[in-house]
């Protein structure tokens, strides 16, 4: 752990009480230290319930103007209705002292609660604001004790990405999420403003971005994506979409700033730009007129446009960082485009990766010249990272680690932990989604700085971010369901020291927060009703075929290399799959056949049941078999069929899991299990053939 010095004379003199477990209270994210009881010249007192209803006045020292108003508003939001006074008092008063010399952490704070008053010290207005979020939680819990709390964040960047391209969301919706983020001491809202599905920010110099590229006919992304992927003019009957006007975006920026949250706008380039090219086709690569998603890097007009857009963006968003995307460009069109090829020749670029890197470098130079910094997805490493760029690591952790080693700042949002568009509970109980399984516990288990990382590398990791992509999220209520409570886990990863993090205790606090959110009209996932992981997946399953040899009958029935799991051992290794086929426990079969295997039990054995589970998730093309045949043999040559199980495969939005098996009594050494794929093209996934 990084050593942090914390100088706070006030707390030092008042604290002598015992340290309470940081978890032993109602504060989320878990604070650094909580002490019970206080001391004064006349002796020490143990922790006692604090009666906050006797508080009557508020004194704020060390800030003026907007910060003063923000802090006064946060006191009120904490449930304390106090009269603002000029002088601190030792009786019935909340005294807030903001003093840059009081401690070494920009966002840190201390709260000392004696019998009669509350003294809050912070280095910055943001720190005082966070102290008041803690106070709010103490008030709400009804369990505020006398003592002291000393607290500061582990990471400076504690973020959430909200995607308003795939489905547009209103300012009011965004404000509601900002409110919740602030209560959890999060401080960055990354707004994904542009993508193929729609451009969502007014840009005066390129009006077709919002008069055309912000609108489509199918309201839901899935209908649009699987349909014609076209845009329509604003005002067309039946058009769906929208965008933030500049006034709205400014209003949002101010609202967030009042809660010490910085909004980082993302303007995607050069990939994920289908909507830009639909509105301004002259920026397509020159070799073909039809559908393209990558901006042409050969044309100067592309740079003129992006710079003009960024000029307007930085006028609205004062954030140090401007996110320029950089992910998932197809790059294929650049190989065929004469403008791109000319650019590569002129600039001595040897690959299309270097061509993308050329663009990102130019954008960085441009934004740096305006006093801003770029942040981009980890693909910006390919072809050479721009000198001052910050990397957002999403494809895993490696990109972030490489960037940090090279001395670049990094925000970690690896999809395995931070992509909260995956279902958070048994997939059949959850709305349709992109697939996978990412429960609260898995999110919470994320550690942004591995223990093995040297301190001089770890210091480049600025923090962590939850990303909520919205392809499958049409309704606001669904969006909140996906966001909360998993974003609470990310808030705690970003704020709390590892030694103060404990999932069992966190979950108890998260359940209470969720209950309160529901009372307040939010629609989070109701954590107390969590089903949890697939029952048998938690422990290995003992059965007669465990560890027995499995032979795959012919190559066309072989498993796909990407979903090999434990290779030939998978189907009898005793490991059941979880709710996701990507867990290296499910084996995936893609070929024209299906599954066709023989298990050798080593000797003739009395068998009472044979079964295997399959899953169906139609979105990514995972289907049940239409027929399962089971046959047995004593000699490995003459087989007797014992089961013929037909199944009608029905396309459904919700994932399902189903067993296909036989029960009875029979003696056999060899078991042949054959599952036929249905007429639907896709995978069969099976995790274990259980023999009892
Ligand atoms: C991403 O998920 N393509 C950043
Ligand atoms: Zn081109």
Point out the domain boundary residue: 526, 553, 572.
Answer: 526
Does the Cβ of 394 fall within 6 Å of ligand 1? yes
Is the pLDDT higher at 246 or at 7?
246
Task: Look at residue 13 and tell me whether its pLDDT is greater than 60.
Answer: no
Average pLDDT for 309-335: 97
Average pLDDT for 288-315: 94
Average pLDDT for 228-250: 98
Average pLDDT for 20-34: 81
pLDDT of residue 459: 98
User: Is residue 78 located within the same domain as residue 166?
Assistant: no
> Which structural domain, as residue segments, surrounds residue 334?
157-526
What separation in Å is there between the alpha carbon of 123 and the centre of ligand 2?
51
Average pLDDT for 251-262: 98
User: Is residue 290 located within the same domain as residue 436?
Assistant: yes
pLDDT tier for residue 8 given thresholds of 50, 70 and 90: very low
Ligand number with the minimum distance to the CA of 285 = 2
User: Is residue 277 located within the same domain as residue 410?
Assistant: yes
pLDDT of residue 37: 87
User: Is residue 129 located within the same domain as residue 95?
Assistant: yes
Average pLDDT for 516-530: 98
How far apart are alpha carbons 165 and 209 in whole angstroms?
Answer: 12
Q: How many structural domains is the chain composed of? A: 3
Distances, alpha carbon 175 to alpha carbons 95, 251, 421, 490, in Å: 29, 10, 20, 19
What separation in Å is there between the alpha carbon of 324 and the centre of ligand 1?
12
User: Is residue 603 located within the same domain as residue 501?
Assistant: no
User: What atom in ligand 1 is closest to the CA of residue 392?
Assistant: 4
What separation in Å is there between the alpha carbon of 466 and the centre of ligand 1?
12
How far apart are alpha carbons 137 and 135 in whole angstroms?
Answer: 5
Nearest to 487 by CA among 548, 542, 424: 424
Task: Look at residue 211 and tell me whether its pLDDT is greater than 90.
Answer: yes
Does the Cβ of 377 fall within 6 Å of ligand 1? yes
User: Is residue 556 located within the same domain as residue 516?
Assistant: no
Does the Cβ of 328 fall within 6 Å of ligand 1? yes
User: Is residue 564 located within the same domain as residue 636?
Assistant: yes
pLDDT tier for residue 5 given thresholds of 50, 70 and 90: very low
Residue 8 contacts residue 102 (beta carbons within 8 Å): yes
How far apart are alpha carbons 71 and 132 in whole angstroms?
Answer: 8
CATH number, domain of 593, equals: 2.60.120.260
What separation in Å is there between the alpha carbon of 21 and the centre of ligand 2?
60
Q: Which of 376, 377, 380 to mutate to test the pocket of ligand 1 (most atoms within 8 A of CB)?
A: 377
pLDDT > 70: percent of the chain: 96
Q: Whose CA is nearest to atom 3 of ligand 1?
A: 327
User: What atom in ligand 1 is closest to the CA of residue 325?
Assistant: 4
Average pLDDT for 448-477: 98
Task: Look at residue 592 and tell me whether its pLDDT is greater than 80.
Answer: no
Average pLDDT for 199-221: 98
How far apart are alpha carbons 14 and 89 in whole angstroms?
Answer: 16
Task: Look at residue 526 and tell me whether its pLDDT is greater than 90.
Answer: yes
Q: Whose CA is nearest to atom 2 of ligand 1?
A: 394
Average pLDDT for 431-458: 96
What separation in Å is there between the alpha carbon of 312 and the centre of ligand 2?
25
Task: Look at residue 615 and tell me whether its pLDDT is greater than 70.
Answer: yes
Q: Which residues are catalytic?
A: 195, 272, 328
List CB contacts of 508: < 8 A, sequence separation 6 or more: none
CATH number, domain of 473, equals: 3.20.20.80
In terms of average pLDDT, the best of 8-17, 64-73, 289-298, 585-594 is 64-73
CATH number, domain of 133, equals: 3.30.379.10
pLDDT of residue 7: 38
Out of 180-189, 267-276, 372-381, 532-541, least confident range:
532-541
Point out the domain boundary residue: 501, 526, 551.
Answer: 526
Point out the domain boundary residue: 119, 151, 183.
Answer: 151
Average pLDDT for 605-626: 95
User: What atom in ligand 1 is closest to the CA of residue 272?
Assistant: 3
Task: Look at residue 38 and tell me whether its pLDDT is greater than 50.
Answer: yes
Task: Look at residue 42 and tell me whether its pLDDT is greater than 90.
Answer: no
User: What atom in ligand 1 is closest to the CA of residue 377?
Assistant: 4
Residues within 5 A (CB) of ion ligand 2: 285, 296, 298, 337, 339-340
User: Is residue 616 located within the same domain as residue 682?
Assistant: yes
Q: What is the mean pLDDT of the chain?
A: 94
Does the Cβ of 327 fall within 6 Å of ligand 1? yes
Ligand number with the minimum distance to the CA of 469 = 1
Cis previous bond, 460, omega within 30: no
> How many C-beta atoms lie closer than 10 Å to residue 636's C-beta?
12
Q: Which of 323, 326, 328 to mutate to test the pocket of ligand 1 (most atoms within 8 A of CB)?
A: 328
Task: Look at residue 570 and tell me whether its pLDDT is greater than 60.
Answer: yes
Q: Which of 394, 400, 417 to mutate to test the pocket of ligand 1 (most atoms within 8 A of CB)?
A: 394
What separation in Å is there between the alpha carbon of 619 and the centre of ligand 2?
33
Residue 18 contacts residue 38 (beta carbons within 8 Å): no
User: What atom in ligand 1 is closest to the CA of residue 328?
Assistant: 3
User: Is residue 135 located within the same domain as residue 164?
Assistant: no
Ligand number with the minimum distance to the CA of 418 = 1
pLDDT single digits (tens) 365-384: 999 999 999 999 999 999 99
Q: What end-to-end distance do the CA atoms of the chain give, in Å?
A: 50
What separation in Å is there between the alpha carbon of 268 and the centre of ligand 2?
17
User: Is residue 146 located within the same domain as residue 125?
Assistant: yes
Ligand number with the minimum distance to the CA of 272 = 1
Task: Look at residue 6 and tell me whether its pLDDT is greater than 70.
Answer: no
List CB contacts of 451: < 8 A, sequence separation 6 or more: none
pLDDT of residue 24: 61
pLDDT > 90: percent of the chain: 89
User: Is residue 367 located within the same domain as residue 221?
Assistant: yes
Residue 39 contacts residue 14 (beta carbons within 8 Å): yes
User: What atom in ligand 1 is closest to the CA of residue 415?
Assistant: 2
pLDDT of residue 15: 54
User: Is residue 280 located within the same domain as residue 248?
Assistant: yes
């Amino acid at each position: 752990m990084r050593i942090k010095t914390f100088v706070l004379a006030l707390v030092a003199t008042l604290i002598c009480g015992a340290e309470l477990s940081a978890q032993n209270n109602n504060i989320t994210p878990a604070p650094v230290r909580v002490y019970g009881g206080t001391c004064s010249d006349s002796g020490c007192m143990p922790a006692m319930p604090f009666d906050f209803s006797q508080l009557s006045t508020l004194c704020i020292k060390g800030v003026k103007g907007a910060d003063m108003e923000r802090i006064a508003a946060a006191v009120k939001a904490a449930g304390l209705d106090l009269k603002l006074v000029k002088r601190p008092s030792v009786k019935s008063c909340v005294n807030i002292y903001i003093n840059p010399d009081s401690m070494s952490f920009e966002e840190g704070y201390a709260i000392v609660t004696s019998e009669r008053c509350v003294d809050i010290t912070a280095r910055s207005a943001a720190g005082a604001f966070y102290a008041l979020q803690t106070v709010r939680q103490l008030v709400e819990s009804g369990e505020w004790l006398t003592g002291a709390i000393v607290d500061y964040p582990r990471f400076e960047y504690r973020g959430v990405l909200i995607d308003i391209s795939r489905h547009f969301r209103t300012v009011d919706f965004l404000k509601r999420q900002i409110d919740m983020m602030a209560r959890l001491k999060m401080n960055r809202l990354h707004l994904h403003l542009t993508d193929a599905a729609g451009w969502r920010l007014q840009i005066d110099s390129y009006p077709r971005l919002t008069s055309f590229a912000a609108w489509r006919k199918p309201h839901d992304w899935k209908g649009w994506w699987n349909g014609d992927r076209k845009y329509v003019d604003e005002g067309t009957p039946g058009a769906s979409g929208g965008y933030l006007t500049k006034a709205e975006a400014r209003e949002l920026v101010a609202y967030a700033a009042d809660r010490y949250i910085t909004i980082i706008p993302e303007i995607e380039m050069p990939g994920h730009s289908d909507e830009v090219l639909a509105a301004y086709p002259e920026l397509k690569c020159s070799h073909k007129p039809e559908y393209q998603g990558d901006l042409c890097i050969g044309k100067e007009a592309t740079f003129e446009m992006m710079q003009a857009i960024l000029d307007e963006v930085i006028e609205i968003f004062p954030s140090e960082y401007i996110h320029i995307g950089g992910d998932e460009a197809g790059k294929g069109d650049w190989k065929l485009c004469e403008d791109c090829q000319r650019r590569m020749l002129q600039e001595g670029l040897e690959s299309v990766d270097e061509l993308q890197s050329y663009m990102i470098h130019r954008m960085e130079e441009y934004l740096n010249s305006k006093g801003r910094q770029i942040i981009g997805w980890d693909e910006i490493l390919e072809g050479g990272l721009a000198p001052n760029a910050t990397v957002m690591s999403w494809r895993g952790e490696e990109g972030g680690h490489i960037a940090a080693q090279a001395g670049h700042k990094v925000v970690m949002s690896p999809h395995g932990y931070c992509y909260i568009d995956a279902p958070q509970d048994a997939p059949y109980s959850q709305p349709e989604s992109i697939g996978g399984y990412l429960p609260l516990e898995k999110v919470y288990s994320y550690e942004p700085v591995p223990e093995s990382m040297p301190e001089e590398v770890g210091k480049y990791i600025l923090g962590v971010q939850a990303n909520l992509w919205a392809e499958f999220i049409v309704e606001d209520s669904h969006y909140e369901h996906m966001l909360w409570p998993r974003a609470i886990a990310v808030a705690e990863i970003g704020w709390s020291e590892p030694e103060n993090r404990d999932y069992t205790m966190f979950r108890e606090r998260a359940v209470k927060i969720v209950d309160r959110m529901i009372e307040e009209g939010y629609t989070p996932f109701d954590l107390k009703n969590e089903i949890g992981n697939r029952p048998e997946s938690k422990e290995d399953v003992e059965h007669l075929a465990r560890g027995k040899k499995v032979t795959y009958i012919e190559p066309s029935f072989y498993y796909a290399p990407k979903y090999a799991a434990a290779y030939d051992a998978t189907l009898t290794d005793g490991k059941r799959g979880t709710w996701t086929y990507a867990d290296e426990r499910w084996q995936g079969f893609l070929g024209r056949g299906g599954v066709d295997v023989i298990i050798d039990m080593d000797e003739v054995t009395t068998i009472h049941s044979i079964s295997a589970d399959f899953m169906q998730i139609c979105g990514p093309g995972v289907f049940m078999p239409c027929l399962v045949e089971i046959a047995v043999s004593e000699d490995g040559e003459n087989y007797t069929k014992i089961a013929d199980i037909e199944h009608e495969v029905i396309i459904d939005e919700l994932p399902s899991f189903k067993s296909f098996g036989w029960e009875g009594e029979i003696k056999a050494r060899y078991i042949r299990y054959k599952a036929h794929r249905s007429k639907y093209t896709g995978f069969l996934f099976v995790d274990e053939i259980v023999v009892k």
